[in-house]
Structure 1
Amino acid sequence: MRLRLEVPATSANLGPGYDAFGLALDIVDTLTLSVHDHPVDPAGCVTVTGESADGLPRDRTHLVMRVFAEVFAAEFPTADPGLLDRIALDCVNRIPHSRGLGSSAAAVVAGIALAAELGNWATGEELTRERILEIATDYEGHPDNAAPAIFGGFTISLSGPARSWQVPVRTLDAVTVLVPSVRLDTDIARGLIPAEIAHQVAAENSARAGLLVHGLLNDASALFAATDERLHQEFRRSAYPESMALVDALRAHGLPAVISGAGPTVLVLANNVPDTAVPDGVVSRRTLIDLDGYRVFRES
């Protein structure tokens, strides 16, 4: 039996929606989990092609495989534990790594979703997508990327417990991502944000977050003002100066540009960006908004 799963890239924050807003993008990783009738060599149970393939493990320490095994054992204790010895995983990576496009959240969601599907096959028990969000948030620390990877579209999430709401996007069907060649560790970016901010900044950010929802629902002309973000991007400017310079340049031309997640990718809430605005070494990609979240297919 094989399970094939597609999981989308995501962009978190969208400017003012720090650690709460997320958007699923039509850039997908494809993973195939095979259940063999004999044990699989644990040192070579994972194959990887595509993004970052050379630097990823091929054994059970691979993030997807590790999450899968932990969740399967915890959530389906009545299943035959010997199943885990007969599992092989093939990964086709398309989501850029360490670029602010939710690659780690996609891997975590993929591992949980595959465990849920195999557990259902083995025991008849089900994990709801709401439960998958709770588990993914425990791994990730916050639900902003996990929620759109699970539910698709534009999501607004809360933590403790993790909950998410999908909000329809009516003013856009695609966005533009500008992906640089450099990478940035999320922990470094998060460490640059101060523990406290001024009340005035928080109040303004709340207003712009509300305006962003209005812009995505009803009025695209509001998106530029809504994405004039002050809460986290400026504090991180030293971590991605080229990306912030690009954001500044795009906004000077009236485009609603923000840093995608922890960066350094730049997200523009517009269908297209002029080629003349794209610096050398940056890949510009128009991408549809993914409306479905992860998808699993059983194959005999």
Structure 2
Amino acid sequence: MMNFTITVPASTANIGPGFDSAGMALNRYLTLHVREHDEWVFETRSKHLPPAEDAEQHFIYQIAERLASEYGAALSPCKVIVKSDIPLARGMGSSASAVVAGIELANQLCSLNLDLDRKLEWATKFEGHPDNVAPALFGGFIVTAATKKTDQVEYFRTDELQVDLVLYVPDFELKTETARKVLPDTWSMADSTAASGIGNVMIAGLISGDYELAGRMMEADLFHEPYRASLIPNYEKIRLKAKEMGAYGTVISGAGPTMISFAPKGSGPAIAKGMQVELPDYTVEVMEVDKKGARAETFQEN
């Protein structure tokens, strides 16, 4: 077996009204260094991850084992060194990155030769929705739809967004389950129509380059942000101050509590500097879109 490294980017999802469908890969990463070994061992090297459990209890191993079993294959024992600069429960797709890493681990060890579309189908099945796993797999900005009629995940992807991204990461967690509990179980036809229209116009604005329009639509979401805003300290302050500093629009990243601004190209550093003063307890940084997505590369032992 060749030694190999799996790299999976973080992601932001929803982007306001793109609820459970729009996402973007970010330049923070989960990395697995995989070596042949006589037994399964996971070793964690990151402040963002808890100490490694027994291999069979590790989430990434469990995903890999589930996928291998679907193909009647067995995982060869390995030592896996796990590194990550993606904080947990912050709305940056940490779970989706782990799911994608587990799929790629099985793909490599079992020589499954899965293409990206098949990986996306499995990742969506394991994660429950495609908005984070799709950008983690493909990179770039991606809009997805899991269609019940065909049982396939349809998607549109682009690398062409000309914006700066400013991320506001607080020093506390918000579990996705908690953020989902505040959402209504149903929406009326009128509310759903209005919310879908806002989402459609936002996507059109982003794709066409009308970022001011897209920013207005981001901040007009009806699907989830009105319900989750109370769970996000400084929600209104961040949106207001970022807008004053020139951002097109600011939204909750994923389920939160991180937030993200879309801003004119070149303005990100100044906005981040100003917002860091406003939010001294946050990590405020300019992010880039990861355009490569998940990848596996072999390496030689020193």
Settle same-fold status: TM greater than 0.5.
Answer: yes
Aligned residue for 1:231? Answer: 223
Show structure 2 runs of 5+ residues with no match: none
The offset of 1:253, in angstroms, is 5.1
1:136–1:143 Cα contact (<8 Å) kept: yes
Aligned residue for 2:122? Answer: 135
- CA offset digits 1:132-164 (Å, max 9, x no partner): 111111211111101111111111112242414
| One-letter amino acid of the counterpart of residue 106, structure 2 | A
Superposition pairs for residues 1-300 of structure 1, below 5 Å?
1-36=2-37, 39-40=38-39, 42=40, 45-75=41-71, 77=72, 79=73, 81=74, 83-84=75-76, 86-120=77-111, 125-159=112-146, 160=148, 161-172=151-162, 174-218=164-208, 219-228=210-219, 229-251=221-243, 255=247, 256-270=249-263, 272=268, 273-278=271-276, 279-300=279-300
Distance in 2 between residues matched to 1:194 and 1:24, nearest whole Å: 28
Distance in 1 between residues matched to 2:42 and 2:167, nearest whole Å: 29
Equivalent position SS for 1:262? coil
- CA offset digits 1:68-107 (Å, max 9, x no partner): 12212322x2x4x3x53x2121111111110000000000
After superposing the two structures, state which structure 1 stretch, 232-241 or 260-269, moved more: 232-241
Distance in 2 between residues matched to 1:107 and 1:183, nearest whole Å: 18
Alignment TM-score, normalising by the size of structure 1: 0.88
Alignment TM-score, normalising by the size of structure 2: 0.87
| One-letter amino acid of the counterpart of residue 90, structure 1 | I
1:15–1:259 Cα contact (<8 Å) kept: yes
Post-superposition, which runs of at least 4 consecutive aligned residues in structure 1 deviate over 4 A?
A: none
2:4–2:33 Cα contact (<8 Å) kept: yes
After superposing the two structures, state which structure 1 stretch, 264-273 or 19-28, moved more: 264-273
| One-letter amino acid of the counterpart of residue 235, structure 1 | Y
Equivalent position SS for 2:22? strand
User: Judging changes above 3 Å, is the alpha-carbon distance between structure 1 residues 11 and 47 closer, same or farther for their aligned structure 2 residues?
Assistant: same
Distance in 1 between residues matched to 2:16 and 2:51, nearest whole Å: 31
Using the aligned pairs only, state the percent identity. 29
The offset of 1:204, in angstroms, is 2.6
After superposing the two structures, state which structure 1 stretch, 178-187 or 227-236, moved more: 227-236
Cα RMSD of the aligned pairs, angstroms, is 2.0
2:42–2:52 Cα contact (<8 Å) kept: no
The offset of 1:18, in angstroms, is 0.2
- CA offset digits 1:2-37 (Å, max 9, x no partner): 12011000111010100011111111111112123x
Show structure 1 runs of 5+ residues with no match: none
The offset of 1:239, in angstroms, is 1.8
Equivalent position SS for 1:53? coil
- CA offset digits 1:97-141 (Å, max 9, x no partner): 100000000000000012112222xxxx42121111111112111
User: Judging changes above 3 Å, is the alpha-carbon distance between structure 1 residues 239 and 3 closer, same or farther for their aligned structure 2 residues?
Assistant: same
Distance in 1 between residues matched to 2:241 and 2:190, nearest whole Å: 26
1:169–1:216 Cα contact (<8 Å) kept: no
Q: How many residue pairs end up in the alignment?
A: 286
